[in-house]
Amino acid sequence: MSTTTYVPSPTDTGAVPGRARGAVAPLSFAGLLRVELVKMFNTRSGFWLLASIAILSVLASGGVILFGGESAINYENFSAAIGMPIAIILPILAILSVTSEWSQRTGLTTFTLVPHRGRVIAAKALVTVAVGVVGIVVAMAVGAVGNLVGAGIHGVDAVWGLTATDLALVLLGNVMGMLMGFTLGVVLRNSPAAIVGYFVYSLILPNVFGALAFYQESFHDAWPWVDLFYNVTSLFAQTPTAEGWAQLGVTTLIWMVAPLVIGLRYLMRSEIK
């Protein structure tokens, strides 16, 4: 009995005939948007943060109806009651959309499958803003329903008070808050640190600037030019003047654009572990 020894030829790749491997197409930006959208919902923290927008909107509206009395039944009060929890939830949601890649250690997989980190961050930013806008619109709709229900229960006419411009400014103010959270997420890339940083920005710094403006008259005029939170919260109260828009633009450059550029620079070069 004889045996035959197989000697591979120099051109033999070992591939099985009929099973040639095709090139894998890169993930499109639209596909990347879908992936990032799913990632915002597929964790318990992300799901309950999104669900809490609707839940807290209903609870806040119910509180105005039950405890506000007839004089409180107007859309402006419903909007203010709903806006308080929304202003906290949305920035945290934006922070987690970025920091989850590091805190849950999924960044190695994400940036291996999509090596262009800029595309990933851009997709996260667009999805975050889109989800935030939808959440704000849902909250506004819940407030409108609450206003109608409250007027019916108390037997008064529904009072709206807010114009389309007012609602657009409320939407812009909440989106600005989300983008500030997103910026902190990019810069710090750590969930607890970024969340604490946002509360420092929104609770501590405004009080510090306010105290300086009160005790230092020379700082009073400069205050709107250095405090982004001051200008963002002003959007909820009135339509900014030309100077107000300029102040918002300058403080956005200082507190949001410049840190975001620096954070992206380090994010692009940082080692993913």
Could you identify the residue written with the tokens 């809490």?
52
**Do the domain assignments include residue 158?**
yes
Asked if 97 contacts 175 with a C-beta cutoff of 8 angstroms, the reply is: no
**Do the domain assignments include residue 247?**
yes
Domain range holding 62? 29-268
Indicate if the pLDDT at residue 215 is higher than 80: yes
**Do the domain assignments include residue 8?**
no
The half-sphere exposure of 188 on its side-chain side, counting CA atoms within 13 A, is 22
**Do the domain assignments include residue 20?**
no
Percent of the chain with pLDDT over 70: 88
With bands split at pLDDT 50, 70 and 90, how would you rate the model's confidence at 35?
Answer: confident
Indicate if the pLDDT at residue 197 is higher than 90: yes
**Closest C-alpha among 68, 86, 90, 89 to residue 77:** 68
For residue 21, the model assigns a pLDDT of 52
Q: Could you tell me which residues come within 8 angstroms of residue 172 by beta carbon, excluding any fewer than 6 positions away?
A: 235
**Do the domain assignments include residue 1?**
no
**For the segment 231-243, what is each residue's pLDDT rounded down to a tens digit?**
999 998 889 999 9
**For the segment 148-157, what is each residue's pLDDT rounded down to a tens digit?**
999 998 888 8
**Do the domain assignments include residue 23?**
no
If one counts the domains in the chain, the total is 1
For residue 19, the model assigns a pLDDT of 46
Could you identify the residue written with the tokens 């107000």?
244
For residue 23, the model assigns a pLDDT of 53
